[in-house]
Amino acid sequence: MSAQHDTVYLTTAQAIIRWLSNQFIEIDGQEYRLCGGGFGIFGHGNVTCLGEALNTVRDELPLYRGQNEQSMGFAAAGYAKQWLRQRFMFCTASAGPGTANLLTAAGLAHANRLPMLMLCGDTFITRLPDPVLQQMENFNDPTFGLNDAFKPVSRYWDRITHPAQVIQSLPAAVATMLDPGDCGPAFLGLPQDVQGWTYDYPVKFFDKKVHRIRRQSPDADEIADAAAALAGAKRPMIIAGGGVQYSKAVAELTGFAEKHQIPVVETIAGRANMLATHPLNIGPIGVTGSDSANAIAEQADVILAVGTRLQDFTTGSWTAFAKDARFISINAARHDAGKHMSLPVVGDAKLSLQALTQATSYTAPTDWVSQAQDERRKWDAYVAENVSYGNRPNSYAQAIGVVNELCDTRDRVVAAAGGLPAEVTANWRTLDIGTVDVEFGFSCMGYEIAGAWGARIAQSEREPDKDTITFCGDGSYMMLNSDIYSSVLSRKKMIVLVLDNGGFAVINKLQNNTGNESFNNLLEDCPTIPEAFGVDFTAHATAMGAAAEKVANPAELAEAFKRAKASDKTYVIVMDVDAYEGWTTEGHTWWEVGTPQTSVDARVRDAHVEWESARQKQRRGV
């Protein structure tokens, strides 16, 4: 340190890590380190400089050794989601293919508006050794490289070309990740030479800083407009999204619904905003939702959307609502608040709901509420029958029902891709607030295990006696399973249910529903496979250090799940499920997918006509 100038002489990498280790956040009156640590795979592009810096703070910023860069990013997303975006993890990867492997995870974090900091190796700024190992040369623009591919999937992107730049870039990256309306992944490209270059940094730059997440108050005029629109409603409905939980506005949402007697439906990201037993919880909405929620959505005349992007699976590709229904959208992000000519209320969900309830004395008609509750009772009866088992083929729903019955109220449930997001969304009965993570913003294959590992790391910091339970199909398991090994190594126990239907069964279902014959989805339908056979998932999981067993039916699954709960390490349970029977009803809501306008197959042509016939209900941007 230089006393004369009050500076400290550090490398770029050392400065980044020292600064990160001095960032804190206040959560519910308690201080936590803002960055919970990181996931890393070292290569020549990050081990010599960034690795040296990280080794000095191994206690403050624990570094989890990854098995695959993509799965590291998924784990970071799972961690951030468990912490309600209030804390984040960093991921570090070497230059070239290591960093490229993070691209999919960045897309997932971007789509789901989740904070994740990527510290990635880059080529040499001096260009003296070019072309270097793993460099992607661009002959007409030498400043353009592989790391530029992260610009579309980053909320904040920078390439550090001088050590002093981190003084501006690091606070900007963190501000972006903590911004309720602009939250998402931040990417810092770290050229290999710049990582080791030194600079006299101001000592004050490394002072401890305690962050608080900003709450934006709504505009008074927008609240007045929303109250006026609500005042004339005969059949109002609330769509509760994931933003309700990020705002910690569950109590305000519940109180608002109860005071004004407005039925509530949940998006996929908004699952577990309300308990399943709450009388105003009418169920999950949309393509993967419930008949109950979709039945009232079709009739609602004023729809209050809170903290939701209004994704196509929520809106039925905008066919789920009456064409003259009016939307009011409360959202921290201006872009989301104004979708489909909604009356926007740009602001924090908690503060906006408080303001709106003060601005109106409206109460919904009792017959409308009774109608919605009748629909929910019918749906509850359907789910109870759907998850029951007996003399019929094994199904996803039956497995979900078993776990739902036996898990603790605060256990966390994870799903992501294939048929399981729909099955969990439709059949899971919420036992406690904020306990469901169905990643359907990107619906990324492989998040099930890696994301659950990250969620378990976060869970162990606050609720170590609870479990993280993840539902995974055989297809997703085969794509990305190595964090079973990571969880065993790090002693972060998970319970993994592998439900094997012999391939990509839900896409085979879509293929058949659009008139196509089964082709290249189920293993038995692949022309290039002379003789299909299944994977011994229990042997594979056991080889990675987990406890594992295969069960024949849901009754055996129940006993195995009890053993998994009692186990002190990651436990994998495998059960075969039918690829064709036992699917949950899809809420009778349309979903727009591209279908061939012509084909030599009459079944495909007929399916196209039938599929397109529902388009007449589609709202076209209004």
- Which of 578, 577, 579, 574 shows the shortest CA–CA distance to 484? 574
Look-up of token digits 């490398």: 11
Which pLDDT belongs to residue 275? 98
CATH superfamily of 7-211: Thiamin diphosphate (ThDP)-binding fold, Pyr/PP domains (3.40.50.970)
Which pLDDT belongs to residue 502? 96
pLDDT digits (tens, 9 = 90+) for 604-615: 999 999 999 989
CATH superfamily of 388-576: Thiamin diphosphate (ThDP)-binding fold, Pyr/PP domains (3.40.50.970)
Q: Is 144 helix (H, G, I), strand (E, B) or coil?
A: coil
Name residue 550's beta-bridge partners.
574
Which pLDDT belongs to residue 308? 98
Q: What's the CA gap between 621 and 318, in Å, rounded?
A: 9
Same fold, 7-211 and 388-576: yes
Q: Helix, strand, coil: what percent of the chain each, to 5?
A: 40, 20, 40
Which pLDDT belongs to residue 10? 98
pLDDT digits (tens, 9 = 90+) for 281-319: 999 999 999 999 999 999 999 999 999 999 999 999 999
Q: Is 89 helix (H, G, I), strand (E, B) or coil?
A: strand
Which pLDDT belongs to residue 2? 52
Measured at the alpha carbon of residue 207, what is the angle toward residues 204 and 211, in degrees to the nearest 5? 130
Contact yes or no for 40/47 (Cβ under 8 A): no
DSSP H helices, 178-283, are 192-196, 220-231, 243-246, 250-260
CATH 3.40.50.1220 fits 220-378, yes or no: yes
Q: What's the CA gap between 470 and 498, in Å, rounded?
A: 9
Which pLDDT belongs to residue 618? 92
Contact yes or no for 439/108 (Cβ under 8 A): yes
Which pLDDT belongs to residue 483? 98
Q: Which two tokens stand for residue 610?
A: 């039938």
Q: What's the CA gap between 616 and 211, in Å, rounded?
A: 49
How is the chain split into domains, by residue range? 7-211, 220-378, 388-576
Which pLDDT belongs to residue 242? 98
Q: What's the CA gap between 505 and 307, in Å, rounded?
A: 32
Sites in the chain below the pLDDT cut of 70: 1-4, 586-587, 622
- Within its chain, how far is the Cα of 407 from the centroid? 22
